[in-house]
């Protein structure tokens, strides 16, 4: 929003003690390292605050986009052709056009069995098609104006549950089998040919999903076909024609954690990320490594949290990863309570720092025309990353952070912490509620501060040049009295707002050093 401020980390003696400024938690959320070993720019809790470059900013809000559906929206299907970009929502056993904001009209497709579709765009013969499968209904196809059934033969098409495009071919995963089926080059319908992986698997299970991975193997960039089974075998092939042995080579089979959900894959630049029971694994770290190298995982910094979430919520529908380039985010949806509540674990794709978003109870996400949308449990589509509050700026976004513990240069000396101020930059008055935790004991704030209205001027009631005026970017610099006695200290603060943009820049401390105890 406004950019970062670099503040030197030095001690300054004051009449009230020693002051120290520490950096905001731009290093992000860390639940892996011991509290005593975390970096000073990390946080053991970072909720609804995104660690950006130089600052940590409160996430933006949400606004209703489409309504009129009754059951949860469990799929968002996007269509993108050279002439149009459209979005469809699956709910109520139907597919609705939600390209435009407002109440949905009549369903584009109705009489369906479930709303959990996997889809992609595929162009051939000068036309772009949106093709979708769900493992129970006849596969559906959209050509920019009309929805029809896909017209696939050779298999019971209602059993096709996952779809991928590789080397100008469409591939389909057959539910509860080790079978993958593929079409002829540049075809969107017709006879399918079976590709069985039963003979290649040593762990058993069934085929979960397929994805395309772009990799430089030393002789130039090429695409690899990645098939992953329910028991975590990643079977990788290279070539263009599965029906020709000379042109379809087995690169290798690697064991990773069991994948979580049909939407377990996400493209991130040339890399491919998969959601597994062991964490979020980039395939660039798979070749030549084994399952024990968890330090190579994308989610390494929050590994205990991810592992716990998968153990507790892994069977719930709603796990998926969405790349959101506009804000530099890779968003992992975590269904805490199926069709009721979800969190998002969010990666800054530039810095690798993590945070957690809360109170966006999404079943699924999609990006259309660069904007982020999600489907809700109450039959709506919401636009995310917009405005300053949730529900069209009517509901507060509560942000909360617990920073890293700091010995302030003297781990063997006790200190009395007396004053604290998180330096918050905003464009309107903001209340900040802060407490200090000492020596790794956690105390939870019991309140959220109200707006500090008297920190700003009101037109006609103040003298020009003597006040900060609401609406201009300013730093909230009010000191708060705290009381903490210990060797190390961390602060916890909470904000609540629906009317402003907020950035956390740094934190200032005042403390008195004691002697050896």
Residue 455's pLDDT band, with cuts at 50, 70 and 90, is very low
Rounded to the nearest 5 percent, the helix, strand and coil shares of the chain are 5, 50, 45
Residue-wise pLDDT for 151-181, tens only, equals: 999 999 999 999 999 999 999 999 999 999 9
Residue 460's pLDDT band, with cuts at 50, 70 and 90, is very low
Residue-wise pLDDT for 234-286, tens only, equals: 999 999 999 999 999 999 999 999 999 999 999 988 889 999 999 999 988 77
State the greatest distance between any 2 C-alpha atoms of the chain, in Å, as a whole number: 84
Task: Quote the CA–CA distance of 516 and 415 in Å, as a whole number.
Answer: 10
Residue-wise pLDDT for 20-29, tens only, equals: 999 999 999 9
DSSP string, 87-140: EEEEETTEEEE-SSSEE--S-SB-S-S----EEEEEEETTEEEEEEE-SSSPPE
Instruction: For Cα atoms 393, 396, 401, give the angle at the middle one, nearest 5 degrees.
Output: 135
Kindly report which listed range (77-91, 107-121, 483-497) carries the lowest average pLDDT score.
483-497
Span 14-41, average pLDDT: 89
Residue-wise pLDDT for 376-405, tens only, equals: 999 999 999 999 999 999 999 999 999 999
Residue 291's pLDDT band, with cuts at 50, 70 and 90, is very low
363 touches 72 (CB < 8 A): yes
pTM: 0.90
pLDDT the model gives residue 13: 55
Task: Quote the CA–CA distance of 11 and 46 in Å, as a whole number.
Answer: 26
Kindly report which listed range (171-185, 206-220, 361-375) carries the lowest average pLDDT score.
206-220
Residue 389 DSSP SS3: coil
pLDDT the model gives residue 215: 79
pLDDT the model gives residue 408: 92
Residue 216's pLDDT band, with cuts at 50, 70 and 90, is low
Paired with 368 in beta bridges are: 371
- Does residue 10 register a pLDDT over 60? no
pLDDT the model gives residue 515: 65
Residue 159 DSSP SS3: helix
- Does residue 427 register a pLDDT over 70? yes
pLDDT the model gives residue 497: 93
- Per the prediction, the chain carries an average pLDDT of 88
pLDDT the model gives residue 146: 97
Name 59's Cβ contacts closer than 8 Å, sequence gap at least 6: 48, 49, 50, 357, 385, 397, 399
Span 136-140, average pLDDT: 98
pLDDT the model gives residue 482: 87
- Does residue 290 register a pLDDT over 80? no
515 touches 14 (CB < 8 A): no
455 touches 367 (CB < 8 A): no
The pairing of beta strand 354-357 with beta strand 179-182 = unpaired
Task: Quote the CA–CA distance of 239 and 246 in Å, as a whole number.
Answer: 9
Residue-wise pLDDT for 467-478, tens only, equals: 344 456 677 778
Kindly report which listed range (217-221, 294-298, 459-463, 468-472) carries the lowest average pLDDT score.
459-463
């Amino acid at each position: 929003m406004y950019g970062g401020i670099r503040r030197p980390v030095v001690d300054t003696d004051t009449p009230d003690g020693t002051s120290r400024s520490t950096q905001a938690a731009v290093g992000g959320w860390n639940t892996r390292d011991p509290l005593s070993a975390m970096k000073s720019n990390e946080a053991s809790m970072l909720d609804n605050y995104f660690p950006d470059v130089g600052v940590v900013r409160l996430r933006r809000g949400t606004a209703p986009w489409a309504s009129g559906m009754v059951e949860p929206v469990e799929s968002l299907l996007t269509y993108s052709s050279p002439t149009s970009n459209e979005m469809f929502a699956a709910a109520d056993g139907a597919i609705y056009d939600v390209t435009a904001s407002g109440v949905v009209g009549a369903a584009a497709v109705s009489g369906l069995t479930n709303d959990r579709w996997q889809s992609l765009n595929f162009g051939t013969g000068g036309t772009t098609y949106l093709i979708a499968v769900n493992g129970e209904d006849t596969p559906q196809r959209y050509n920019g104006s009309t929805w029809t059934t896909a017209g696939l033969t050779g298999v019971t098409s209602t059993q096709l549950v996952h779809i991928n495009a590789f080397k100008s071919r469409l591939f389909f995963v057959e539910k509860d089998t080790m079978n993958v089926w593929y079409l002829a080059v540049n075809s969107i319908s017709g006879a399918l040919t079976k590709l069985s992986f039963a003979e290649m698997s040593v762990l058993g299970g069934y085929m979960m999903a397929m994805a395309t991975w772009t990799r430089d193997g030393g002789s130039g960039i090429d695409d690899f076909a990645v098939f992953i089974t329910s028991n975590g075998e990643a079977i990788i092939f290279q070539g263009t024609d599965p029906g020709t042995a000379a042109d379809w080579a087995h690169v290798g089979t690697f064991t990773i954690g069991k994948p979580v959900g049909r939407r377990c894959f996400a493209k991130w630049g040339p890399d491919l990320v998969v959601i597994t029971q062991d964490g979020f694994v980039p395939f660039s770290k798979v070749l030549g490594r084994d399952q024990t190298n968890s330090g190579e995982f994308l989610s390494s910094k929050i590994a205990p949290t991810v592992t716990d979430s998968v153990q507790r919520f892994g069977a719930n529908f709603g796990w998926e990863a969405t790349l959101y380039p506009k804000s530099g985010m890779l968003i992992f949806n975590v269904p805490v309570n199926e069709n009721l509540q979800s969190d998002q674990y969010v990666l800054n794709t530039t810095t690798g720092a993590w945070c957690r978003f809360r109170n966006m109870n999404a079943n699924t996400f999609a990006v259309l025309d660069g904007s982020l949308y999600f489907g809700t449990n109450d039959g709506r589509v919401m636009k995310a990353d917009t405005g300053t509050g949730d529900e069209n700026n009517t509901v507060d976004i509560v942000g909360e952070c617990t920073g890293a513990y700091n010995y302030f240069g003297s781990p063997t000396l006790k200190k009395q912490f007396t004053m604290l101020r998180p330096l918050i930059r905003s464009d309107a008055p903001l209340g900040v509620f802060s407490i200090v935790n000492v020596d790794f004991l956690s105390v939870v704030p019991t309140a959220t501060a109200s707006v500090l209205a008297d920190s700003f001027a009101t037109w006609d009631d103040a003298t020009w040049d003597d006040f900060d005026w609401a609406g201009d970017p300013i730093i909230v610099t009010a000191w708060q009295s705290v009381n903490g006695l210990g060797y190390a200290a961390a602060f916890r603060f909470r904000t609540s707002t629906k009317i402003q943009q907020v950035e956390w820049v740094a934190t200032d401390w005042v403390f008195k050093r004691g002697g050896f105890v």
